[in-house]
Structure 1
Amino acid sequence: MADPILTLSGVKTNIAQYHILQGVDLDVPRGQVTMLLGRNGVGKTTTLRSVIGLWRAHEGTILFDGEDITRRPTPAIARMGIGFVPEDMGIFSDLTVEENMTLAAVSGPVDSARLDWLFSVFPPLKTFWKGYAGTLSGGQKQMLCIARAMIEERKLYLIDEPTKGLAPAIISTMARALRELKAQGASILLVEQNFAVARALGDGAAVMDDGRIIWAGAMRELATDKDLQERLMGLSLEAS
């Protein structure tokens, strides 16, 4: 396996009285796309939010690029080079697209070449650059959410269900953008329910159930083994 950029060892996270993560062990190889799969409610989002520090792991260790980030605050983790795309988008509706993007550039002024690339993969952002983010369509808001994480080159991207609820044309745009990000050598941990997207983008896969990783391996192995899919998740990827 490639050198892991992210390693979770025995990570347990509680939310109020609920024990969500029950001891997650996960390696995310450097320069690859790792799909985090599983049924709803098994802990995928909690895993991402524990890595970025929004929800604090109370047990276990999270190593990023060789450094222990388990107890670090979210802003410090982000400045180390992790971009996060939350499921709920979290855009600032009363700010313009430009202002949303500017705030996301934590290292300084927005790089013009990087911005031009983002405009090429998400053309509506250029069209509505001076418009308020709250006036965008659902698909355009998702583009903005992903573009904010990509405005600077990050070492690792945590992306939570980027195609959820989107029309097929918008899903194609999202997949193309993520494919280009992957081609740049990015390391990505991606939660995705659209298995066609998972098959197309994933190098590796990890399947969660009941707050634990129950299987990890090559995405192509999971994508071509219907028996394995049904045993792990109770469904067939070919039907998705």
Structure 2
Amino acid sequence: MSEPTLRLKGVHTNIAQYHILQGVDFDVPAGGVTMLLGRNGVGKTTTLRTIMGLWRARAGTILFEDRDITGLATSAIARAGIGYVPEDMGIFSDLTVEENMTLAAIGGPLDPDRLDWLFSAFPPLKTFWKKEAGNLSGGQKQMLSIARAMAEKRKLYLIDEPTKGFAPAIVATLAGALRELKNQGASILLVEQNFSVARALGDSCAVMDDGKIVWSGAMAALAGDHALQEKLMGLSVETA
């Protein structure tokens, strides 16, 4: 394993009166894909939102490249080099695809070579470049959401359930783009319910239950141990 690009130490997060994260500890190694897995409602989305500063950690430390980002504003965390794809996509429906992408390029104009790569990964974005994003299909909106995070090279990408509810062809397109991003050397923390995608993309893995990390290790180790899958998540990666 490489040195961690992101490290969570004893992170607690409350939402209203609810204690959601209860001492989360795990690392995201640099240059690979870390899967954050677990049943619904165990705190995976809260973990990503806490890293991005959208929800504040009540206790604990979040280190990004050995820099404490726990108390930073979301805008400062983004400028530090972290891209975020929320589960709800978060696109601007009344803006065009082009305008959505332009807003995502915080460093200046969109790089033409980067844009060509995104068009090759997500062809519908080029087709509907001048169209309002609200007119896209669900799968096309997800492509736009992911492409916005990739508009500039980031040091770390946080991606929340990108393939949820989509047809196999869309899943294959999204997984292919994430694989290419991985091949470019990006670090990715990926929440994913499609375990065949998790097995194909993941290098390392952390499994959550009830607001805590209950297991971490190599994705291949989890994928090859059906009894462990049943114990941790109640289903088999092999047969999911």
TM bin (shorter chain):
over 0.9
Which secondary structure state, in structure 1, belongs to the residue aligned with residue 92 of structure 2? coil
2:63 partner amino acid: L
Aligned length: 240
The corresponding residue for 2:200 is 200
- Residue 90 of structure 1: SS of its match in structure 2? coil
Q: Which residue of 2 aligns with 1:67?
A: 67
In structure 1, the residue matched to 2:159 is: 159
1:123 corresponds to which residue?
Answer: 123
* SS of alignment partner, residue 110 of structure 1: coil
- Distance in 2 of aligned mates of 1:54 and 1:178: 24
Q: Hey, what does 2:135 align to over in structure 1?
A: 135
Partner residue of 2:49? 49
Amino acid aligned to 1:20: I
Shift in Å at residue 14 of structure 1? Answer: 0.4
Counterpart secondary structure, 1:239: coil
Residues 42-121 of structure 1 aligned to structure 2 (within 5 Å) = 42-121=42-121
Q: What do residues 92-134 of structure 1 show as CA deviations (whole Å, max 9, x unaligned)? A: 0000000000000011111000000000000000000000000
**Residue segments in structure 1 that go unaligned for 5+ positions in a row:** none
Matching residue of 2:23: 23
User: How far apart, CA to CA, are the structure 2 residues paired with 1:11 and 1:106?
Assistant: 29
Give the alignment's TM-score, normalised by structure 1: 0.99
SS across alignment from 1:152: coil
Opposite residue 107 of structure 1, the aligned amino acid is G
2:8 is aligned with 1:2: no
- Tell me the distance in 1 between the aligned counterparts of 2:17 and 2:99: 38
Distance apart, 1:235 and its partner CA: 1.0
- Report Cα offsets for 1:39-71 as digits up to 9, x if no partner: 000000000000010011010000001100000
1:229 corresponds in structure 2 to 229
Q: Secondary structure of 2:238's partner?
A: helix
Cα RMSD for the two superposed structures: 0.5
1:238: how far off? 1.6
Return the offset for 1:2.
Answer: 1.1
Gaps of 5+ in 2: none
Amino acid in structure 1 at the alignment position of 2:91:
I
Which residue number in structure 2 is paired with residue 185 of structure 1?
185
Residue identity in the other structure for 1:175: A
The one-letter amino acid of 1:236's match is S
- How far, CA to CA, are the matches of 1:93 and 1:183 in structure 2? 31
SS in 2 for 1:199: helix
When normalised by structure 2's length, the TM-score is 0.99
Structure 1: how far apart are the matches of 2:189 and 2:26? 11
Amino acid across the alignment from 2:164: K
Residue 234 of structure 1 and its aligned partner are, at CA, apart by: 1.2
Q: Which letter maps to 1:2?
A: S
